[in-house]
Chains A and B, each alone.
Chain A
Amino acid sequence: MSAHSVADPIPADHEGGFDLHRTRKTGMWVFLGSECIFFGAMISTFLLYRNTTADGPGAELFDVAFTSASSFVLLMSSLTMVLAHNAFERRDIRQARIWLTGTALLGATFLAGQIFEFTEFVHAGLTMSTSPFGSSFYMLTGFHGAHVAIGVMMLTAMVILSTSGRLHHDRGLNVELVGLYWHFVDIVWIVIFTIVYLLQV
């Protein structure tokens, strides 16, 4: 359907045409709005229990320098995601593939850091069953990690698709949508890092 002029009563700004990509982006934005509440509820729980350590270990376990480094890695992955999207918009699939791979690797590095950190904390005696503090810490950072892991899987899938020329806007799994998701996951981490790690010191 064309977007050009019809009779007067049709407002000019309303094209009415069906643009699948625009529809998908709307769906993704709405879903991310919902995700805000999902993380918001976990962050609230953490704030409620941040000092409820039941005589177990608490925030003194945190190695802020280490987590700052891994946070930096995650934030840089947003940059590579933007570069991947730019390359994709230029239809430079080869460049896009490189940046997508880079984003996935940075995400995986962040996850590796998180696994290392969890292992350290468990050795130091903080588990999910140590205290409400432990429960809410592992749930919040764990669910964030799960979101990163899903993002890494989608990035990997797109890298594979790109090798056979099947990476384009028409698919639900496309660079722009995954990019939106990825940036969201990064932004949430900024909030989590601030509240969980920085405010405790």
Chain B
Amino acid sequence: MTAVAAPLTQDGRSGIWGWITTVDHKRIGILYGVTAFTFFLIGGIEALLVRTQLAQADGTLLSAEAYNQLFTMHGLTMVFLVVMPTASAFTNYFLPIMLGARDVAFPRLNAFSYWLFLFAGLMIYTSFFAGGAPDGAWVGYAPLSGQITEAVRMDFWSVGLQLLGVASIVSSANFVATCFTMRAPGMTMLRMPVFAWMSLVVAFLLLFSLPSVAIGLFQLFLDRNFGALFYEAAAGADPLLWQHLFWIFGHPEVYVLVLPAMGIVSEVLPVFSRKPLFGYEFVVFSGVAIGFIGFGVWSHHMFTSGMGPVAEAGFGVATMIIAIPTGVKIFNWIGTTWGGRLNMSTPMLFSLGFIAMFVIGGLSGITHAVVPSDYQQHDTYYVVGHFHYVLFGGAIFGYVAGVYYWFPKWTGRMLDERIGKIHFWLMLLGFNLTFGPMHILGLNGMPRRTYRYPEGLGFEFWNLMATIGSYIIGISLLFFIWNIIRSRRNGTLSGSDPWDGRTLEWSIPSPPPEHNFDEVPLVRSLDDFWHTKYAEDEQGRAVRIPAVTGAEIDVFAEEEGEAHGDIHMPSPSYYPALSALGLVILGYGFVYLSFGWIAVAVGGVVALWGLFGWSLEPVTRSEHH
């Protein structure tokens, strides 16, 4: 077993080239995480600019044009470049380990997903230097988004999202194949940790929702560049089609954003309550139910588009029904903490914060399901308040809980508890101060997506509060960054199992060796690792089994006679990164279609070169240990 603070580059391929060619799911997870966090800071700065503009009536900091770009890029960044890849980071790192596997199903495809995500994200951001960023909101409603302007903003948006979608589809197929075919012996589906389950549901949601928006984006692209008439009302087309295609993707997408956070919270709560998760099956199947019903509620985003009373009633009821599995989960989480011996460390605080904030966001969401009430709230700040409660108070709080929980596994060191608690309370305060008032502003009639508001409408006070709140969130993040930098070098050493965990990742060293498990574990129950550490006495209380180490669970594998010799790990490869680069060059060509055919050709050749090299190179190398 390696030492606690072993370097991350255990296969000897260090340096930049090692990271570019890596196919190790843990390093790809770290790449996802670091990249997503960087985009989070950029998206946060955009939000602060927006809030500064709105701090007072008749704000003068930003022009309407700049404001439109900033709020569009803020939404697009936070959804596609922050929350989704953060979920990917956790899934990449922990899904294989939690299932007892040595890597994901397709390691090189995994690398390809990451590089395509990174390059496509950077490509969208280069639009700022190429005449202007997308400015039609992240939902890009037709026919507005179809209008041809001088700058090619919305082409950057449509092509960039298309590439990000490809990256997500590919990684989703990868995760599904991992869950279905890579589980360790004995790891039945209903022994998978809840986080693994939620990752699986998310992968299915993406697989079946992304193609819908992909078609919408292609149609928009063809309208803008090839004179197609998909959204041209003058030719008899119906621009409402865009909203359907978008929201058939867009609503499952919000579950894509929040389900992984629910999975993380379902891991954290049992560990810090020192109790098993209350009603494991209910938590799992309510997650699956949310996934299914999530496909039947998309039109609640479109109540004011005039669909007629039957459709509105149907989608309104479906939306209320989805609150049931969500409520089941919340009661299960509360049941998990109930009567537990609570350890109020930072991961637990953020998890409890998640539950509280998500309940508020969920309840304000129910008010949108009531159609007449939605008419009143539609396109106001009430909606902005609502979805930040579920996506920031929900998703981001959950992911931050995940960072505090798993940081020791990544680095072998603990994050500082004192700074962590300052971070939590500041973020909770700042968050509520920012987004709470938006409900009041919205009900008072302040519309979203407007770059300023006149004096005397009563919007000034709460807007100022929201802006102050947003800066408090910003300050809380400085504590977070400080904590990470400080603890990465000087944090307390954590050992392999600092929280007395229940799932397989805590049975291996921190950070894990490249092949994860010296012996593939055999799994005999849910929370198997916990049961190797604790037995029950006659009263059903947990009793520590003495002198048990993580190696204990390998006994079966050794009895079974698994050879100690070679472990086959996938070889490093630069072809995934090369293929992704080719696709993004191709993307630039499509954005600048009038003279971009050379880029299309070059990108096509590079992508094909990458794909052919990829399919012809050998898959594995042997690692002796």
Residue numbers of A with Cβ under 8 A of B are 1-2, 6-7, 9-11, 14-20, 22-24, 26-27, 30-31, 33-35, 37-38, 40-42, 45, 48-49, 52, 54, 128-132, 134-136, 138-139, 143, 157, 166, 170-173
Contacts and interface: CB of A to CB of B under 8 A. Distances in A.
B520 interface: yes
Interface string B205-242: 00111111011101100110011111010011110010
Contacts of B186: 6, 9-11, 14, 16
Given A38-B214, A139-B219, A170-B619, A10 B229 contact: no
A143 B176 CA distance: 26
Q: Return the 4 tightest CB-CB contacts between A and B, nearest first.
A: A16-B185, A129-B227, A38-B211, A41-B215
Nearest to B184: A16
B590 to A, nearest CB: 15
Contact of A10 (B177, B237, B524): B524
B201 interface: no
A142 to B, nearest CB: 10
A131 B227 CA distance: 10
Contacts of B236: 52, 54, 131-132
B183 A171 contact: no
A35 B172 CA distance: 13
B208 A1 contact: no
Interface string B234-253: 01111001000100100000
B169 A26 contact: no
A131 B181 contact: no
Interface of B: 101, 105-106, 169, 172-174, 176-177, 180-188, 207-212, 214-216, 218-219, 222-223, 226-230, 232, 235-238, 241, 245, 248, 520, 522-525, 556, 559-562, 612, 614-616, 619
Contacts of A40: 211-212
A2 B560 contact: yes
Nearest to B109: A27
A139 B228 contact: yes
A11 B186 CA distance: 6
Nearest to A18: B182
Given A14-B186, A52-B236, A171-B615, A34 B210 contact: yes
Nearest to B189: A14
Given A1-B520, A27-B176, A132-B235, A41 B615 contact: no
A150 B186 CA distance: 40
Contact of B185 (A15, A27, A54, A173): A15
A30 B176 contact: yes
B237 A23 contact: no
B182 A34 contact: no
B185 A34 contact: no
A40 B228 CA distance: 19
12 contacts: A10-B185, A11-B186, A17-B185, A23-B182, A34-B172, A37-B211, A41-B215, A42-B215, A128-B229, A129-B228, A135-B219, A135-B222
B208 A37 contact: yes
Nearest to A2: B560
A138 B185 CA distance: 49
A187 to B, nearest CB: 16
Contact of A27 (B105, B219, B237, B614): B105
Contacts of B208: 33-34, 37
B244 to A, nearest CB: 8
A103 to B, nearest CB: 19
A44 B278 CA distance: 43
A31 B173 contact: yes
Nearest to B170: A31
B495 to A, nearest CB: 28
A22 B227 contact: no
Given A27-B105, A34-B210, 16 more contacts: A2-B562, A7-B524, A9-B524, A10-B186, A10-B523, A16-B520, A34-B172, A35-B211, A38-B215, A45-B230, A48-B238, A52-B235, A52-B237, A54-B235, A132-B235, A139-B219
Contact of A23 (B181, B210, B248): B181
A61 B210 CA distance: 33
A135 B230 contact: yes
Given A34-B173, A34-B207, A135-B230, A26 B181 contact: yes
B188 A33 contact: no
Nearest to A134: B229
Contacts of A2: 560-562
A136 B556 contact: no
B467 to A, nearest CB: 40
B610 to A, nearest CB: 13
A24 B106 CA distance: 8
A16 B187 contact: yes
A23 B177 contact: yes
Contacts of A130: 229
Contacts of B173: 27, 30-31, 34
B211 A139 contact: no
A50 B181 CA distance: 43
Contacts of A18: 101, 181-182
Contacts of B212: 37, 40-41
Contacts of B176: 26-27, 30
A173 B612 CA distance: 10
A130 B237 CA distance: 12
A27 B560 contact: no
Nearest to A143: B218
Contacts of B556: 6-7
A28 B229 CA distance: 34
A162 to B, nearest CB: 14
Contacts of A37: 207-209, 211-212
A11 B560 CA distance: 15
Contacts of A143: 218
Contacts of A31: 169, 173, 207
B216 to A, nearest CB: 7
Given A1-B185, A10-B522, A45 B615 contact: no
A132 B222 contact: no
A41 B216 contact: yes
Contact of A128 (B106, B222, B237, B616): B222
B185 A132 contact: no
Contacts of B228: 128-129, 135, 138-139
Nearest to B237: A132
Contacts of B209: 37
**Residue among B184, B235, B236 facing the most chain A CB atoms (10 A cut-off):** B235
Contacts of A41: 211-212, 214-216, 245, 248
Contacts of B187: 14, 16
